[in-house]
Amino acid sequence: MIDADNRGAVFISYAWGAELENKEWVRQQIADPLDWNYQVFWDRDSIGFGESIDGRIASALAQRPILVLCLCDPDYIDAARRVDSGLHRELQVLTRIADEPGVRIVPLILGRCVERLPEPLVGRAYLDLQPLHNRGLGLETALLCVAEGLSQAQVRASINAQMAMANLRQRARAYLQLQSLVFWGNGNTHEVTVHPDGQLSYPLRAPQWMWDSEMWSFMLGDEVPTYCPIKGRWHWDRFSPSRGMQALGTAVLSAFFPQLVGEDEQRALSDGGVVLAQNFFSTVYVAEPFRFDMNDVVTFMINHPEGYRVLETLLDAVDS
């Protein structure tokens, strides 16, 4: 791990062309995430007229400690081989300082080019970001892991976790799109209606398994101004997530998975209802309306450890 008091500088080495042609991409995906904690040099166009380009680059590379991130793709390789290119001269400077204390040079692989890496990148441990980059996934987490000095195993584990989350999100969206449900909560009456795509709306009521469950049945017959599940009236408020809000979350989640009624599935739906109560229904004021759809399911479940587990369990049950 890197000493928090001595984070040093980051130099981003890249070439124009192909997907890296847009500087905005480099800024958003590479420079900005690192700029919070590091002094980052990346934009050659920031060098003023009359200044020595090589001098500015050499000055930036003279900082210690320094992490040099090389954004390697076929265009980077081609530019490195052109003796008249700025990148070629940049790599010559890197070659001179490559073995100095406090210098880390990390090739970041964004395209098929590992076999053609130029000096001084040859033989260095590289980070293959193609699995993330090819799917359009964010690179910031992996880059921060590298900058903080995490081990290769830790960085790979982080990338694998990010890929797994992306896969789960894709599975969830593919399934939930088939349900095509939108829930509207009326802030005046607290009636919650379900709006299936292309069909008539209907009041949200607890599924039969909740009535049969000792966890929920004792409270589903209650009636107060903001809560009467029999009539499709449910409670929400910007307050701690009560059992009533947890019941609402469970009923909503169950509507997306009506075929899941087994004991393990009921437990997962109930756990997921708690997550939705904590992260959504307890954030809406009692007199406010709400709209809830599949995007909210994905967002609030997948970004919560327990919600992630529940969503994975439910989708596995659907696929079994």
168-180 average pLDDT score: 96
- What structural domains does the chain harbor? 9-150 (3.40.50.10140), 174-319 (no CATH)
Residues 6+ away with beta carbon under 8 Å from 309: 271
Q: Which residues pair with residue 196 across a beta bridge?
A: 181
Helix residue ranges per DSSP H, 257-304 = 263-279, 294-302
* Residue 317, pLDDT above cutoff 80: yes
Task: State residue 118 phi and psi, 5-degree precision.
Answer: -85, 165
Report the candidate in 310, 313, 19 with the shortest Cα–Cα distance to residue 139. Answer: 19
- Compare 180 and 25 and report the one with higher pLDDT: 180
Task: Tell me what pLDDT residue 17 has.
Answer: 52
Nearest CA among 170, 164, 210 for reference residue 305: 164
User: In this predicted structure, which of 4-8, 96-100, 128-132, 200-204 has the lowest mean pLDDT?
Assistant: 4-8
pLDDT band at 22 (very low <50, low <70, confident <90, very high): low
Rounded to 10 deg, the angle between the 152-179 and 140-147 helix axes is 160
Q: How far is CA 55 from CA 31, 38, 140, in A?
A: 21, 21, 29
Which spans in the chain are helix H?
23-26, 32-35, 53-61, 74-81, 86-97, 130-133, 140-147, 152-179, 208-212, 243-256, 263-279, 294-302, 305-319
> Mean pLDDT, the chain, as a whole number?
93
pLDDT, tens digit (0-9, with 9 covering 90-100), for 233-290: 999 999 999 999 999 999 999 999 999 999 999 999 999 999 999 999 999 999 999 9
% of the chain beyond a pLDDT of 70: 95
β-pairing verdict for 103-109 and 66-72: parallel
pLDDT above 70: residue 16: no
SS3 227: strand
Cβ pair 24, 83 in contact under 8 A: no
Of 85 and 220, which is predicted with more confidence? 220
Among residues 128, 57, 122, 45, which one has the least CA distance to residue 87? 57
With CA atoms as reference, report the closest residue to 257 among 199, 194, 314. Answer: 314
